[in-house]
């Protein structure tokens, strides 16, 4: 099993997902006529949705998946797929399960990795020849297999995948602007959507357009890529004991996330299967959970399309944006130093209920320091960047009060954005466990309200701590001033 520190479910910040694919610079050779024509179904895809997968709550396709997996070598399970309260479909204990028990044992033959065989080998060869990285490769693989319907060995798996995964990839820019205006997650979602579009355009330009027989537009289009990336973002795992290999693990990917467990999927060398070890007991009928990693509510919404209940996620955090003032006489000099350390004039830092990173304080020192402290600017910029090993816990008592006030101002500006959105949203308290019953607008709005409430709660806590620190500091200064004045009078 993976150690707690190793997050096996895909992290929203995982470096391997590159915005644009790095295809080899070798010119593409003119396509040879394939010996075996792959029959890619070229029927028109209905707008905004793909022609495969199922409604997310569908149990019929899930039980067909279960039967196929058992026939294909999945050993007898202590869990079954069922409708659940959290996550719509999930794995439920069929028998008593002990704490510390290993479950699943999915054999590698039932796992999709970048090395999986393609039903249409020519398509796979073209992508590999062009050194397409794992993520775009797997995204294309999924579409290719899905389009082959029953001719693909993965057809039972693909039929049980959601036709429209819950993911911010499916939010329009207008929806993101309207519902997530207060949260930094809006920028992350826009960036991600642009990355997916950029990746697709790059593949189309460099590869698909040159091999239209293998990659017809009707199948390999932006809608199908949104779907396949949505599936990857919400289901792909990284397996530490398989050298960090990324994989789609049928059956295991029916497990939902709980912030209260700390158990991750990994390859078990002893049993030669994908397993996880329970960290609590389960009774028959109870839903079994794993952890998708220590992620904030915003990150969970971004990749998986849900927000845990307020206060229920110990890893929750909110991004606070700090900016240099354009009116600062040393603006240019400070900006250059920030750039040198990979930062910019406007920078986000994660705040947790337990506090904020030292980098944030260093940035605040830099933002408030006057030109008389110019010799310290570089030290501050370096400490604000987490890529440096320099001492981060800087202290400049002469500007500490100003720096804390600067953070408090940014925090309060952010809180007022959340207040504005939450007031305008009214007191929504809808049941999002059955989103299909709500209309889309209310569903998205409720997710946004839940996210904003949880992010604002963290900011409120930071505001309280900052105000108290400043009050204590100012009271201390006042006391010192009174004592000083007392001494002055005494000596006069
Ligand atoms: C790896 S899949 C889990 C199986 C999924 N429930 C299904 O029926 O296909 C991840 C998706 O499950 C749902 N999910 C997982 N954990 C959840 C939770 N704690 N609350 C709400 N939805 C959850 C989300 O839709 C997420 O995108």
Tell me the domain boundaries of the chain.
Answer: 60-304, 317-483
DSSP class of 355: B
Average pLDDT, the chain: 87
The region of weakest confidence among 214-218, 273-277, 429-433 is 429-433
Whole-angstrom Cα distance, residue 141 to residue 152?
11
Whole-angstrom Cα distance, residue 334 to residue 323?
11
Residue set of the binding site for substrate: 235, 253, 267, 292, 304
Residue set of the binding site for S-adenosyl-L-methionine: 235, 256-257
Q: Decide: helix, strand or coil at residue 131.
A: coil
Q: Which residues line ligand 1 (CB under 6 A)?
A: 56, 86-90, 162, 165-166, 234-235, 253-254, 256-257, 304-306
Span from the CA of 325 to the centroid of ligand 1 (angstroms)? 42
| Per-residue b or e along 395-409, where b marks 16 or more CB atoms closer than 10 Å to that residue's CB | ebeebbbebbbbbbe
* pLDDT > 60? residue 227: yes
Contact 5, 122 (CB under 8 A): no
Q: Please, which pLDDT band fits residue 147 given cuts at 50, 70 and 90?
A: very high
Query: Which residues, at least 6 apart from 213, have a Cβ–Cβ distance to it below 8 Å?
Result: 31, 34, 37
Can you tell me which atom of ligand 1 is nearest the CA of 165?
27
Can you tell me the mean pLDDT for 42-58? 69
Compute the half-sphere exposure of residue 200: CA atoms within 13 Å on the CB side of its CA.
Answer: 20
Pocket test for ligand 1, best of 56, 61, 87 (most atoms within 8 A of CB): 87
Could you name the CATH architecture of 317-483? Alpha-Beta Complex (3.90)
Enter the tokens of residue 26. 């070798």
Residue whose CA is closest, atom 4 of ligand 1? 254
Q: What is the predicted pLDDT for the residue at 390? A: 62
* pLDDT > 60? residue 234: yes
Q: How far is CA 289 from CA 182, 253, 262, 282, 339, in A?
A: 31, 11, 9, 10, 43
Contact 267, 244 (CB under 8 A): no
* pLDDT > 90? residue 21: no
152-200 per-position pLDDT tens digit = 999 999 999 999 998 899 999 999 999 999 999 999 999 999 999 999 9
DSSP class of 447: H
Pocket test for ligand 1, best of 250, 253, 304, 431 (most atoms within 8 A of CB): 304
Span from the CA of 123 to the centroid of ligand 1 (angstroms)? 31
Q: How far is CA 68 from CA 106, 110, 250, 265, 294, in A?
A: 13, 10, 11, 21, 33
**Rounded to the nearest 5°, which phi and psi values hold at 18?**
-90, 140
Whole-angstrom Cα distance, residue 273 to residue 74?
9
Residue whose CA is closest, atom 23 of ligand 1? 87
Could you name the CATH architecture of 60-304? Alpha-Beta Complex (3.90)
Compute the half-sphere exposure of residue 344: CA atoms within 13 Å on the CB side of its CA.
Answer: 4
**Rounded to the nearest 5°, which phi and psi values hold at 350?**
-80, 135
Can you tell me the mean pLDDT for 224-240? 97
Residue whose CA is closest, atom 24 of ligand 1? 304
* pLDDT > 50? residue 13: no
Q: What is the predicted pLDDT for the residue at 431? A: 56
* Nearest residue to 184 (alpha-carbon basis) of 445, 381, 459, 431: 459
Vertex 308, ends 456 and 248: CA angle to 5°? 130
318: β partners: 351
| Per-residue b or e along 80-118, where b marks 16 or more CB atoms closer than 10 Å to that residue's CB | ebbebeebbbbbbbbeebeeeeebbbbebebbbbbebeb
Whole-angstrom Cα distance, residue 422 to residue 68?
47
Contact 78, 95 (CB under 8 A): yes
275: β partners: 104, 266
Contact 275, 104 (CB under 8 A): yes
Span from the CA of 492 to the centroid of ligand 1 (angstroms)? 75
Residue whose CA is closest, atom 10 of ligand 1? 234
Query: Which residues, at least 6 apart from 270, have a Cβ–Cβ distance to it below 8 Å?
Result: none
- Interstrand relation of 256-257 and 289-290 (parallel, antiparallel or unpaired): parallel
Q: Please, which pLDDT band fits residue 308 given cuts at 50, 70 and 90?
A: very high
Same fold, 60-304 and 317-483: no
* Nearest residue to 153 (alpha-carbon basis) of 127, 124, 123, 120: 120
Q: What value of ipTM does the predicted structure carry?
A: 1.00
Count of residues in the chain? 492
The region of weakest confidence among 34-48, 201-215, 249-263, 421-435 is 34-48
Contact 185, 451 (CB under 8 A): yes
Contact 229, 1 (CB under 8 A): no
Whole-angstrom Cα distance, residue 117 to residue 121?
7
């Amino acid at each position: 099993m993976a150690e707690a520190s190793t997050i096996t479910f895909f992290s929203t910040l995982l470096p391997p997902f590159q915005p644009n694919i790095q295809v080899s610079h070798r010119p593409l050779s003119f396509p040879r006529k394939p010996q075996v024509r792959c029959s890619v179904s070229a029927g028109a895809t209905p707008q905004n949705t793909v022609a495969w997968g199922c409604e997310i709550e569908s149990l019929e396709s899930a039980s067909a998946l279960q039967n196929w997996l058992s026939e294909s070598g999945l050993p007898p399970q202590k869990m079954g797929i069922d409708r659940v309260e959290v996550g719509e479909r999930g794995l439920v204990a069929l028998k008593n399960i002990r704490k510390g028990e290993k479950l699943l044992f999915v054999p590698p033959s039932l796992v999709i990795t970048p090395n999986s065989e393609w039903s249409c080998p020519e398509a796979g060869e073209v992508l590999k020849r062009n050194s397409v990285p794992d993520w775009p490769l797997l995204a294309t693989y999924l579409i290719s297999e899905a389009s082959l319907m029953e001719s693909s060995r993965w057809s039972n798996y693909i039929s049980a995948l959601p036709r429209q995964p819950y993911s911010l990839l499916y939010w329009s820019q207008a929806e993101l602007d309207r519902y997530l205006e207060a949260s930094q997650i809006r920028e992350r979602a826009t960036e991600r959507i642009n990355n997916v579009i950029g990746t697709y355009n790059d593949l189309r330009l460099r590869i698909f357009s040159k091999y239209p027989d293998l990659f017809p537009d009707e199948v390999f289009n932006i809608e199908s890529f949104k779907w396949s990336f949505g599936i990857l973002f919400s289901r792909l795992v990284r397996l530490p004991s398989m050298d960090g290999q990324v994989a789609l693990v049928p059956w295991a990917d029916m497990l939902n996330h709980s912030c209260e467990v700390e158990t991750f999927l990994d390859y078990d060398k002893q049993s030669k299967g994908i397993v996880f070890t329970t960290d609590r007991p389960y009774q028959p009928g109870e839903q079994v959970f794993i952890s998708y990693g220590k992620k904030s509510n915003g990150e969970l919404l971004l990749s998986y399309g849900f927000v845990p209940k307020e206060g229920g996620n110990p890893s929750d955090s909110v991004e606070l944006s700090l900016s240099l003032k354009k009116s600062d006489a040393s603006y240019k000099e400070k900006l250059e130093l920030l750039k040198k350390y990979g930062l910019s004039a406007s920078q986000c830092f994660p705040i947790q209920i337990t506090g904020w990173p030292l980098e944030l304080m260093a940035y605040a020192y830099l933002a408030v320091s006057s030109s008389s402290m110019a010799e310290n600017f570089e030290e501050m910029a370096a400490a604000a960047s987490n890529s440096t090993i320099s001492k981060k816990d800087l202290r400049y008592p002469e500007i500490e009060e100003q720096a804390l006030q600067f953070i408090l101002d940014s925090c309060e500006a952010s809180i007022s954005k959340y207040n504005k959105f939450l007031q305008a949203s009214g007191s929504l308290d809808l049941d999002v466990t059955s989103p299909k019953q709500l209309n889309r607008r209310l569903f998205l709005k409720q997710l946004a309200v839940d996210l904003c409430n949880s992010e604002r709660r963290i900011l409120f806590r930071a505001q309280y701590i900052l105000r108290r620190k400043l009050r204590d500091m100012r009271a201390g200064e006042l006391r010192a001033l009174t004592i000083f004045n007392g001494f002055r009078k005494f000596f006069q």
